[in-house]
């Protein structure tokens, strides 16, 4: 089954304790992205990757890191989480060929609470 998986689904942590949210897709997609969703603000892009070893900042990258060492995986790293990073996080992937109409496939979300 084609899918995007995220782990963990729920996470409660404390300020400053490094964490990683994993994202994996089995569709051989070039393009992967991380979003955060907050009430009234919709989806805001954190980072994206157009292919292996190619990443770039989205709209709200501060406090986050990503890496793309393999095509299927795109982990999101919070080196020193703060309470303002409490949010619902989504990973997404799509085929990346320019000019294609390719839609994004989303993971189920990770709800992060930083106390």
Partner 1 sequence: AQSVTQPDIHITVSEGASLELRCNYSYGATPYLFWYVQSPGQGLQLLLKYFSGDTLVQGIKGFEAEFKRSQSSFNLRKPSVHWSDAAEYFCAVRSAGGSYIPTFGRGTSLIVHP
Site residues, partner 1 (CB under 8 A): 4, 31, 33, 35, 40-43, 45, 48, 90, 92, 94, 96-104, 106-109
Pick 75 or 107: Cβ nearer partner 1: 107
Q: Which residue has the tokens 């300020």?
A: 15
In our burial notation (b when 16+ CB lie closer than 10 A, e otherwise), range 26-42 reads: eeebbbbbbbbeeeeee
Closest distance of CB 109 from partner 1, Å: 5
DSSP state of 73: B
User: Of 15 and 28, which has the nearer Cβ to partner 1?
Assistant: 28
Instruction: Give 15: exposed, middle or buried? Use CB within 10 Å, 0-12, 13-18, 19+.
Output: exposed
Least distance from partner 1 to the Cβ atom of residue 46, Å:
12
* Least distance CB 94 / partner 1 (angstroms): 7
Distance between CA atoms of residues 80 and 1, nearest Å: 35
Minimum gap (Å) between residue 42 Cβ and partner 1: 3
Nearest residue (CB) to partner 1, 6 versus 85: 6
């Amino acid at each position: 089954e084609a899918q995007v998986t995220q782990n963990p689904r729920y996470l409660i942590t404390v300020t400053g304790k490094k964490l990683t949210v994993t994202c994996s897709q089995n569709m051989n997609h070039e393009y992967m992205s991380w979003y955060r969703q907050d009430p009234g603000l919709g989806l805001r892009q954190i980072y994206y990757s157009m292919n292996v070893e190619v990443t770039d900042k989205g709209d709200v990258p501060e406090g986050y890191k990503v890496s793309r060492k393999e095509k299927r995986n795109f982990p999101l790293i919070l080196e020193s989480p703060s309470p303002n990073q409490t949010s619902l996080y989504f990973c997404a992937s799509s085929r990346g060929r320019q000019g294609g109409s390719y839609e994004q496939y989303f993971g189920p979300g990770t709800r992060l609470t930083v106390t």
